[in-house]
Amino acid sequence: MIRKVIIPIAGLGTRFLPQSKILPKEFFPLVDKPIIQYIIEEVINSGIKQIVFVVNPERNLISDYFKSNSDLDKLLKRQNKNDFLSEIKKIESITKNISFSFVKQKKPLGNGHAILQAKNKIGKTEPYGVLFNDDVIISKTPCLFQLSQVFKTYQKPIIALKKVPKDKVFHYGIVETEKIANRFYKIKGIVEKPSVDSAPSNLAIIGRYILTREVFAELEKIPLVKNKEMLLTDAFERMLKNNKTIYGYEIEGEWMECGDKERWLKSNLALSLRHLRFGPKLKSYLKQI
């Protein structure tokens, strides 16, 4: 079973400059909570108890966000702001259900390099999940739990997939597949941002994975080349060339993309309009303007 996950948050968030100079991308809000909180809640709701964060050594706000602040608590109590105090306590309670540990990625050398930094935090034989904060999945059954249920049976690396419109494939990593069962595929190849005509399918890779130790081994074989990032897909391509098995699962749920400003704004709008508290007021406001 999956006991640990890796969440890389050491990136510079260049697509969100200049805001990301000050605020790390994982703390950009989606409606009324930051992106990273959605990711952590997915992990908890999937039954995972340990998160390894790969962080930028110069800024790590995770601990500050989730730890208690007695001075703030006292101030809110004095001002009778009990609703705000309740929200703060909900955030603090998250850490009672899960443990955090941290490793540093000193230079932004790619997502594969980030994952490799967490190798020593993962047991020698145990599988692990990886979640990227470019993607939030809204689903009844947590995305990571869906993947873990498939992994129980097959015990091989699994990539989360989602169908995209054929005219949008050039935005994504697209997989070539052999269908095994409903929503379940064997990965035959991966093409990064293919043209509409050359795309092998319209199944795009989402930032959710369950991986095995052999992925670390493949990442270690990839040489670091100046001005070239070490990517997780590089390891997958090496594995496929060596006839190793990788599966893909088309997850159930709604994919809220947060990888750049436009997609983050669209996700914010969609979630805001369906929010129980804010949705009706925003719909009314949209009619006014």
> What pLDDT score does 268 carry?
95
**Residue type at position 184:** F
pLDDT at 170 over 90: yes
- Is 194 in a helix, a strand, or coil? coil
Half-sphere exposure of 240 (CA within 13 A, CB side): 17
Handedness of CA 39, 64, 88, 50 (dihedral sign): positive
> What pLDDT score does 160 carry?
97
Q: CB–CB of 168/138 below 8 Å?
A: no
Q: Torsion-angle region of residue 127: left (phi > 0), alpha (psi -120 to 50) or beta?
A: beta
Q: Torsion-angle region of residue 80: left (phi > 0), alpha (psi -120 to 50) or beta?
A: left
> What pLDDT score does 223 carry?
86
Using alpha carbons only, give the angle 241, 229, 170 rounded to the nearest 5 degrees: 70
Average pLDDT over residues 5-22: 90
Instruction: Please state, in angstroms and rounded to a whole number, the distance separating the CA atoms of residues 222 and 50.
Output: 28
Q: Mind listing the pLDDT tens digit for each residue in 117-150?
A: 999 999 878 899 999 999 999 999 999 999 999 9
Domains, in order of start, for the chain: 4-288 (3.90.550.10)
Average pLDDT over residues 188-199: 93
Return the closest-CA partner of residue 186 out of 239, 127, 115.
239
- Confidence at 13, pLDDT banded by 50, 70, 90: confident
- Confidence at 27, pLDDT banded by 50, 70, 90: very high
Instruction: Please state, in angstroms and rounded to a whole number, the distance separating the CA atoms of residues 160 and 278.
Output: 31
Helices (H) and strands (E) in the chain, counts: 10, 13
pTM comes to: 0.92
Q: Mind listing the pLDDT tens digit for each residue in 220-275?
A: 999 888 778 889 999 999 999 999 999 999 999 999 999 999 999 999 999 999 99
User: Looking at 75-84, 141-150, 156-165, 205-214, which range is the least confident one?
Assistant: 75-84
Place of tokens 């034989």: 125
> What pLDDT score does 14 carry?
87
Average pLDDT over the chain reads 92
Q: CB–CB of 84/36 below 8 Å?
A: no
Q: CB–CB of 13/25 below 8 Å?
A: yes
Q: CB–CB of 62/9 below 8 Å?
A: yes
> What pLDDT score does 131 carry?
97
Q: Mind listing the pLDDT tens digit for each residue in 49-104?
A: 999 999 988 777 888 888 888 888 889 888 898 888 888 888 888 878 789 999 99
* DSSP E strand stretches across 233-286: 247-250, 254-257
> What pLDDT score does 267 carry?
96
